[in-house]
């Protein structure tokens, strides 16, 4: 008996260690990449002769503003995605919910096939220009990964666990709150992480409808043929994306329920 | 009848789009403190019947009465909190500790924290798990047997009068299953819960049941009686076929060693002369004698050969490997006899004193007597 328990314990500790390693790898690779990129950007900034046009494009004050806009747009659109996709995912997985789950996933999949550029322009035509339009457009584009992961996350919860909860007299809401959602969190957070990174990338197009962001620098660099400016703009977008990704990895690690 | 703990009155369940009802006009009552086993081939509706009781499945027709109260239309969640529920897959919450799992129903009933903590430890001890060790562990750290123990503890959380068990030991290896069954029966002898137990395993049914309901398609009761009656007098061919060939062997688990007449055999008390021993053996004609010590505890088997091989009797004899106690089942007795070098099994009382011997003859005699004059035994014999 005691040996059996010891065996189980060892088995468990190796499993936890492996899990921990995987999570750690995530938390090592992304920041390392970001660091390399940062060093590279600083290097380029320091050792390249800027002509007056490049200097004007890469003016620190406007870069700082664009960076702030980039982060704000990404943050709010991610928040909007979560607050729409998660409840929607919960809703369509309830028993007796209209069978629109598959239809919804298909439609949103098609939506994602529309080029990001086109989607932003469509929303501009509909809602006019500005940051709000940009946030809504970004959120629409990133809705699918979160919705799909919410559905999958809720569906992969062992049905016998839910059955046991029901058999003990937990109401549907108690089962959702205490069993289904906690057990679906790792999968949902993974979806949110994907969505956040998509949003950062997409926010580089927000300048098209006057919502600013680092896209302005890249665009100016392209139009005026200044490769240094393009590189600096792209590197900053990538840095923001990697920062969001790291935040996502941290969330995945600390929001995962214990024992799972 | 009014004292029944649970009563199903003319209950039917028809699933949408299926012509034949899964449960057809079933009436059944479960008495307080008994284990009623529902057993039958797969698809006979035994699980559905169990799940009708706590309304995990809503009946299409009929009434469910719980302690004299019609519960067919009350809030099912409130009803379920009064009824323990154990399933084959256990279904422990993987993200909650063992303690939190066990606390599920007490917390739903809003027990005070101190009372819940006390109850958790009490239940863990009840199912033979050290609270200090297991309280804060997670289900993934448990073996299958341990998980089901916690499953039972969790079902007993708020001390319900009734337990519903749906093949609780079905997914557990045979050795652990046997141990859990025995532990559970011991538990039940003090708890005296009303239990409805579903299994497809007739051996488990015979072992666990105070009464057994053998069900056929549509949850129709083919026979409902005490296990010994069903084994001795199967109501019809269906029951007979379901019992299978080993009915006599199965019935051995129902009877205890104390139920049969023990053969005193020849008892030699140490110290004894070789001559005396030889004479005693020759007179008895059984070939073996039991050597006991001063306190009447059996030491070894003595036969003529061992008497010739050594002058010291205690060393000469063959070792007694298995000793039976009066509470052991006749199945245990049979296996002890088969293991024993003499073909007999020694029976001792609780303090280890010699009571007599169980022999194949006495067992066979008893088995023949069990079949009420032999007619029904012939019947089961033929189906074998």
Question: Is residue B344 within 8 Å of B265, Cβ to Cβ?
Answer: yes
Mean pLDDT of A47-70: 89
Averaged pLDDT score across all residues of chain B: 86
Say whether B93 and A165 touch across the interface (CB within 8 A): yes
Distance in angstroms (rounded) separating the CA atoms of residues B247 and B379: 11
Residue B258 pLDDT > 90: no
Which of A197-201, A210-214, B354-358 is most confident? A197-201
Residue A260 falls inside a structural domain: no
Which of A47-51, B218-222, B326-330 is most confident? B218-222
Residue A14 pLDDT > 80: no
Provide the pairing of β-strand B61-66 with B6-13. antiparallel
DSSP state of A59: -
Q: In this predicted structure, what is the pLDDT of residue B368?
A: 72
Looking at chain B, list the stretches that DSSP marks H as alpha helix, in order from N- to C-terminal side.
Answer: 46-53, 76-81, 98-102, 104-108, 113-126, 131-134, 144-155, 174-191, 202-208, 227-232, 237-243, 247-251, 274-284, 304-309, 313-316, 330-339, 360-370, 375-383
Question: Would you call A125 an interface residue with chain B, using a CB distance cutoff of 8 Å?
Answer: no
Q: Which residue has the higher pLDDT, A2 or B100?
A: B100
Question: Would you call A99 an interface residue with chain B, using a CB distance cutoff of 8 Å?
Answer: no
**pLDDT tier, A76 (very low <50, low <70, confident <90, very high otherwise):** very high
Q: In this predicted structure, what is the pLDDT of residue A2?
A: 40
Residue A11 pLDDT > 60: no
Q: Residue A112 sits in a domain of what CATH number?
A: 1.10.3720.10
Say whether A9 and B56 touch across the interface (CB within 8 A): no
Q: Which domain holds residue A79?
A: 2-255
Q: In this predicted structure, what is the pLDDT of residue A21?
A: 59
Contacts of residue B225, defined as CB under 8 A and 6 or more positions apart, other chains included, come to B211, B212
Question: Would you call A186 an interface residue with chain B, using a CB distance cutoff of 8 Å?
Answer: no
Backbone angles phi, psi at B152, to 5 degrees: -70, -45
CB contacts of A183 in chain B (<8 Å) are 94-95
Give the minimum alpha-carbon distance from A222 to chain B in angstroms, rounded to a whole number.
Answer: 52
Q: Which residue of B has its CA nearest to A14?
A: B141
State the Rg of chain A over Cα: 23
Residue A8 pLDDT > 60: no
Mean pLDDT of B201-206: 90
**pLDDT tier, A16 (very low <50, low <70, confident <90, very high otherwise):** low
- Tens of pLDDT along B340-362? 877 888 888 878 888 888 888 88
Residue A141 falls inside a structural domain: yes
Question: Would you call A158 an interface residue with chain B, using a CB distance cutoff of 8 Å?
Answer: yes
Distance in angstroms (rounded) separating the CA atoms of residues B101 and B138: 9
Backbone angles phi, psi at B29, to 5 degrees: -130, 140
- Tens of pLDDT along B26-82? 999 999 999 999 999 988 989 999 999 999 999 999 999 998 889 998 999 999 999
Q: In this predicted structure, what is the pLDDT of residue A115?
A: 82
B342: tokens are: 């003499």
Which residues of B have a CB under 8 Å from any CB of A? 54, 56, 76-81, 85, 87, 89-97, 104-105, 108, 138-143, 151, 154-155, 157, 164
- Tens of pLDDT along B69-123? 899 989 999 999 999 999 999 999 999 999 999 999 999 999 999 999 999 999 9
Mean pLDDT of A57-86: 94
Q: In this predicted structure, what is the pLDDT of residue B310?
A: 67
Q: Is the ipTM of this complex over 0.95?
A: no
Q: How many domains does chain A have?
A: 1
Residue A12 pLDDT > 80: no
Residue A211 falls inside a structural domain: yes
Question: Is residue A104 within 8 Å of A147, Cβ to Cβ?
Answer: yes
Q: In this predicted structure, what is the pLDDT of residue A4?
A: 41
- Partner-chain residue, chosen from A4, A168, A258, that has the shortest CB–CB distance to B80: A168
Sheet strand arrangement including B323-324: B323-324, B345-348, B354-358
Say whether B141 and A12 touch across the interface (CB within 8 A): yes
Question: Would you call A61 an interface residue with chain B, using a CB distance cutoff of 8 Å?
Answer: no
- Chains A, B: CB contacts within 8 A come to 82
Residue B384 pLDDT > 50: no
**Which residue in B84, B92, B95 has the most chain A C-beta atoms within 10 A of its own C-beta, making it the best mutation to test that interface?**
B95
Say whether A260 and B85 touch across the interface (CB within 8 A): no
Question: Would you call A153 an interface residue with chain B, using a CB distance cutoff of 8 Å?
Answer: no
Residue A6 pLDDT > 60: no
Q: In this predicted structure, what is the pLDDT of residue B39?
A: 95
**Which residue in A18, A156, A168 has the most chain B C-beta atoms within 10 A of its own C-beta, making it the best mutation to test that interface?**
A168
CB contacts of B164 in chain A (<8 Å) are 167
Backbone angles phi, psi at B21, to 5 degrees: -65, 145
Residue B256 pLDDT > 90: no
Residue A140 falls inside a structural domain: yes
CB contacts of B140 in chain A (<8 Å) are 12, 259-260
Question: Would you call A169 an interface residue with chain B, using a CB distance cutoff of 8 Å?
Answer: yes
Residue A95 pLDDT > 50: yes
The domains located in chain B, with CATH, are 6-244 (3.40.50.300), 258-366 (3.10.580.10)
Lowest mean pLDDT among A26-30, B16-20, B146-150, B271-275: B271-275
Mean pLDDT of A182-195: 94
CB contacts of A171 in chain B (<8 Å) are 77
Say whether A12 and B140 touch across the interface (CB within 8 A): yes
Residue A136 pLDDT > 80: yes
**pLDDT tier, B381 (very low <50, low <70, confident <90, very high otherwise):** very low
């Amino acid at each position: 008996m005691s040996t059996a328990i010891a065996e189980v314990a060892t088995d468990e500790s190796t499993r936890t260690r492996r899990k921990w390693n995987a999570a750690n790898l995530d938390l090592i690779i992304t920041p390392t990449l970001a660091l390399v990129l940062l060093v590279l950007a600083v290097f380029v900034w320091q050792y390249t002769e800027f002509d007056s046009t490049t200097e004007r494009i890469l003016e620190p004050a406007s870069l700082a503003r664009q960076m702030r806009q980039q982060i704000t747009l990404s943050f709010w659109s991610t928040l909007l995605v979560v607050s729409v996709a998660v409840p929607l995912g919960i809703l369509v997985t309830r028993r007796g919910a209209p069978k629109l789950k598959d239809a919804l996933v298909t439609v949103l999949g098609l939506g994602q096939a529309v080029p990001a550029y086109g989607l932003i322009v469509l929303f501009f035509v509909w809602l006019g220009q500005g940051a709000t339009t940009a946030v809504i457009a970004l959120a629409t584009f990133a809705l699918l990964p979160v919705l799909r992961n919410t559905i999958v996350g809720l569906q992969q919860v062992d049905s016998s666990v839910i059955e046991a909860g029901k058999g003990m007299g937990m109401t549907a809401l108690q089962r959702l709150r205490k069993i289904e959602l906690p057990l679906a969190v790792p999968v949902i957070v993974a979806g949110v992480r994907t969505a956040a990174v998509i949003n950062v990338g997409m926010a580089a197009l927000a300048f098209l409808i006057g919502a600013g962001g680092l896209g302005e620098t890249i665009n100016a660099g392209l139009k005026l043929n200044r490769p240094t400016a393009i590189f600096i703009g792209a590197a900053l977008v990538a840095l923001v994306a990697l920062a969001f990704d790291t935040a996502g990895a941290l969330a995945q690690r600390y929001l995962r329920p214990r024992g799972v | 009848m009014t004292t029944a703990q649970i009563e199903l009155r003319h209950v039917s369940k028809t699933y949408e789009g299926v012509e034949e009802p899964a449960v057809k006009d079933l009436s059944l009552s479960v008495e307080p403190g008994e284990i009623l086993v529902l057993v039958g081939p797969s698809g006979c509706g035994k699980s559905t019947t169990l799940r009708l009781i706590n309304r995990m499945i809503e009946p299409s027709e009929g009434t469910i009465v719980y302690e004299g109260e019609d519960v067919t239309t009350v809030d099912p969640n409130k009803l379920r909190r009064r009824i323990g529920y154990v399933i084959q897959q256990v279904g422990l919450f993987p993200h909650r500790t063992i303690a939190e799992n066990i606390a599920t129903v007490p917390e739903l009933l809003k027990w005070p924290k101190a009372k819940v903590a006390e109850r958790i430890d009490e239940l863990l001890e009840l199912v033979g798990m050290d609270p200090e060790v297991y309280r804060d562990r997670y289900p993934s750290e448990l073996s299958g047997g341990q998980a089901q123990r916690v499953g039972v503890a969790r079902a007993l959380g708020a001390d319900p009068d009734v337990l519903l068990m749906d093949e609780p030991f079905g997914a557990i290896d045979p050795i652990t299953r046997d141990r859990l069954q025995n532990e559970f029966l011991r538990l039940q002898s003090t708890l005296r819960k009303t239990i409805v137990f579903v299994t497809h395993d007739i051996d488990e049914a015979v072992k666990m049941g105070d009464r057994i309901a053998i069900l056929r398609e549509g949850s129709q009761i083919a026979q409902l009686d005490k296990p010994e009656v069903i084994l001795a007098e199967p109501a019809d061919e269906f029951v007979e076929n379901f019992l299978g060939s080993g009915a006599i062997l199965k019935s051995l688990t129902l009877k205890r060693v104390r139920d049969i007449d023990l053969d005193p055999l020849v008892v030699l008390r140490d110290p004894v002369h070789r001559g005396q021993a030889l004479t005693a053996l020759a007179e008895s004609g059984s070939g073996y004698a039991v050597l006991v010590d001063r306190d009447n505890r059996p030491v070894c088997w003595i036969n003529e050969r061992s008497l010739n091989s050594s002058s010291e009797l205690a060393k000469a004899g063959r070792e007694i490997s298995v000793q039976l106690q009066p509470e052991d089942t006749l199945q245990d007795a049979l296996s002890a006899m088969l293991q024993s070098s003499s073909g007999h099994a020694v029976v001792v009382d609780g303090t280890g004193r010699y009571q007599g011997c169980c022999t194949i003859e006495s067992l066979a005699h008893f088995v023949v007597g069990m079949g009420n004059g032999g007619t029904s035994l012939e019947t089961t014999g033929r189906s074998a």
